[in-house]
Amino acid sequence: MLWFCVELPALGLEVCARRMPDEDIPAVLVQDNRVVVCNTPASDSGIVIGCSLATAHSISHRLVHFSRDIAAEHERLRFIADAAYRFSASISIHEPSAILLEVSGSLKLFGGLYGLKRGLINLLGELGHRTDIGIAHTPLAALALARSKENYELPRWPTAHDVKTLALESLRRISLRHTECGSDIIERFASMGIETLGQIFRLPTAELGRRFGPKLLDYLERLSGQRADPRFCITPAASFTAELNFLESLSNKESLAFPMQRLAQDLGNWLISRQFGVLRIGWSFVPFNADAVTMEVEFAEPQQNKQTLLSISRLKLDALDLPAEVLSIRLASVRLAPWQAESNFLFARAEHSAHPPAELIDQFKARLGDGACSGIADNNNHRPELAWRSTAPDMRLSKKQRPNTQTKGREPQLAATRRPLWLLKAPKPALRRQLSLLRGPERIDVGWWASTNVYDPAHRDYFIARHSDGSQCWVFADRNGEWFIHGYFA
């Protein structure tokens, strides 16, 4: 087996700092009035881990400090596990700040060990988290290696023997403070002059058990792989919901851009990991002591692209009346669809098409309203004026619905030339002497089989004709021999 451990050493601060409107503000995590974690701006200003909170504030007057939010950390860790589901189907959470992935079946998909590792690092970096990754043959060994930042070289396509041998060699150098041993056990070993796992591995097992109890032996056996260490794997969430609560209320739409970008990034990564596309999302803007203002954004086809999710949402936000002050925002997936990746090169590479059609539809709807665009669908009626109906625009036309020109030869092209794209709202009378018939007839005879029909029976012989004014039109003669123009050809 091959286990990756993703350790998030600054998770507590990163979770709290998401509430800030600007990531360039110095921020620290405080415990017992001491700084335990600081972000990059705080470190650059001279704040060091271990200094008092008063000292930190004297160094940087812009400093923001937080205490741990255990519930928020757990929620964020669970989201990270869901987002990492693209790399492995066997993921478990190890509180308080690590996830474990069994990845032996994923190496080919990601181009080997280091391609998979690079993908994990990029994903967590995009989500705003620092990571330390450990690789080993057991989950506890990977966890210890990640915490100690102990690195060792593995082949791109390692065997189980390679991983076990090199991981055990690296474990011997690790300090006990990076293991799951309790502080009391570490102190007892320190009093004996023992500080590394290698020193413990050399001790007699029976003596260790008598002096430290079976719990330590169980841990060492699971760490080294002598005993199985089954893990409870997560089941990914069926839908996406995320919320950001701000330190201070936001009073204009521009200040919402950064937190909305964070939530859109989270949604995009979640969609990729779950192989979903989103057709509708819901935003909620929550003021103080009032009802939330909601905004739904609908897409013409399933979307995963984070930039598209954000840009269409911001277009629709321009027309929304927001509360004077917003204290938090929420984003939820309202309607999901299975993701089917298809090539859009035909449209994306066209000279006069800056955007794919679905994106243009979404932009029109966001700016002009949901009724600004509509699609066309077949209707079960032979009468040309009733053979179609207006629908919501939907770019998800399956391959079965598309005409296959390879199997049907010239049939689609001929069908397109027999009928015009421009039909009149109602046929208008015409004189026979004004028409020169070019092609036809095509007979449409419907409604005769029912004594009571919603529509009147139609008996028509259609022709393509040239009108005396020079236009090419689609005409028909009814049962009484009267002629009508029903449409025009371009």
Q: pLDDT per residue over 34-65, tens digit each?
A: 999 999 999 999 999 999 999 999 999 999 99
Residue 133 binned pLDDT confidence (cut-offs 50, 70, 90): very high
Q: Could you say which of 169, 191, 224 is where a domain stops?
A: 224
Same domain flag for 253 and 356 = yes
User: Do 200 and 245 fall into the same domain?
Assistant: no
Question: Where is the domain boundary, 334, 366, 398?
Answer: 366
Q: Is residue 79 part of a domain?
A: yes
In terms of domains, do 212 and 257 share one?
no
Last residue of a domain, one of 309, 343, 366: 366
> What is the number of residues in the chain?
490
CATH number, domain of 311, equals: 3.30.1490.100
Q: Please state whether the predicted TM-score (pTM) of the whole model is above 0.85.
A: no
**CATH code for the domain in which residue 172 is found:** 3.30.70.270
Q: Do residues 246 and 186 share a domain?
A: no
121 within domain boundaries: yes
Q: What is the pLDDT of residue 351?
A: 42
The residue whose two tokens read 């008598």 is 210
pLDDT of residue 396: 57
| Tokens found for residue 321 | 């009346």
pLDDT digits (tens, 9 = 90+) for 406-464: 444 444 444 445 788 888 988 999 999 999 999 888 888 887 766 555 556 788 999 99
**How many independent structural domains does the chain possess?**
3
User: Is 336 a domain residue?
Assistant: yes
In terms of domains, do 246 and 220 share one? no
* Residue 35 maps to a domain: no
Q: Based on the fold, state whether residues 197 and 248 are members of the same structural domain.
A: no
Full domain range(s) for residue 250: 241-366
For residue 206, is it within any domain? Answer: yes
Same domain flag for 320 and 434: no
User: Does residue 264 lie within any of the structural domains?
Assistant: yes
**361 lies in the same domain as 421:** no
Q: What is the pLDDT of residues 312-371, one digit of tens each?
A: 999 999 888 888 889 999 999 999 999 986 655 444 444 444 455 677 777 777 777 777
Query: Quick one: pLDDT at residue 289?
Result: 82
Residue 391 lies in a domain: no
476 occurs within a structural domain: yes
Label each residue of the chain as H, E or C. Answer: CCEEEEECCCHHHHHHHCCCCCCCCCEEEEECCEEEEECHHHHHCCCCCCCEHHHHHHHCCCCEEECCCHHHHHHHHHHHHHHHHHCCCCEEEECCCEEEEECCCCCCCCCCHHHHHHHHHHHHHHCCCCCEEEEECCHHHHHHHHHHCCCCCCCCCCCHHHHHHHHHHHHCCCEHHHCCCCHHHHHHHHHCCCCEHHHHHCCCHHHHHHHHCHHHHHHHHHHHCCCCCCCCCCCCCCCCEEEEEEEEEECCCHHHHHHHHHHHHHHHHHHHHHCEEEEEEEEEEECCCCCCEEEEEEEEEEECCHHHHHHHHHHHHCCCCCCCCEEEEEEEEEEEEECCCCCCHHHHCCCCCCCCHHHHHHHHHHHHCHHHCCEEEECCCCCHHHCEEEECCCCCCCCCCCCCHHHHCCHHHHHHHHCCCEEEEEEEEECHHHEEEEEEEEEEEECCCCCCCCCCCEEEEEEEEEECCCCEEEEEECCCCCEEEEEECC
Do residues 253 and 219 both lie within one domain?
A: no
- 361 and 459 in a single domain? The answer is no
Query: In this structure, what token pair is assigned to residue 274?
Result: 């779950």
Each residue's pLDDT tens digit, 237-288? 999 999 999 988 888 888 899 999 999 999 999 999 999 999 999 999 999 8
The pLDDT value recorded for residue 410 is 47
Percentage of the chain lying above the pLDDT 90 cut:
68
| Cβ 336 vs Cβ 282: under 8 Å | no
Summarised one tens digit per residue, pLDDT across range 3-12 is: 999 999 999 9
- The verdict on 213 and 262 lying in the same domain is no
Mean pLDDT of the chain: 87
- For the segment 298-324, the average pLDDT, to the nearest whole number, is 90
Whether residues 152 and 178 share a domain: the answer is yes
